[in-house]
Amino acid sequence: MCTSNMSSIVSEEKNQVALIVDDDKAILRTFSIILKRKGYTIDTAETGKEALDKISFNNYDVALIDMRLPDIQGIELVAKLPAKSTKMVKIILTGLLPIDVGNQTDCEVDAYLLKPIKPDDLISVIEKNLQRRGLKSSGSQ
């Protein structure tokens, strides 16, 4: 009986849905693989407009957003997110330095990750922020 209860707890913790927003198909594919292996359900968008359309109709626990999209800056995209996405963890991915975090605080960005991103760092930042937002049990690995 104990083992069946444990497996149901694990499956409940691994049902987060992530949206990856990047115009680089290799990054979309790589991050999708990494997150799927950790039990996340994945959706992708290649432009800010596509991301806004998807967020309007779907609920996501986390969004990984490239700083430079073809049609909008990642920071601007976060500022345009609908009110229903306030609990969603928003992580900006950038290859640019320096990141002026001081000017970005009003956009509700939870974290910034500098490319190239190690898979373990990606998962760690996502899960830490999900726990902080109360979207993930603290018992998950």
What is 13-132's CATH number? 3.40.50.2300
- Cis (ω within 30 of 0) for the bond into 70? no
**pTM score, whole prediction:** 0.83
Structure token digits, residue 77? 């995209």
- Write the pLDDT tens digit of every residue in 19-41: 999 999 999 999 999 999 999 99
Domain coordinates of the chain in residue numbers? 13-132
pLDDT on residue 61: 97
**Rounded CA separation 31/121 (Å):** 12
First-to-last C-alpha distance (Å) of the chain: 22
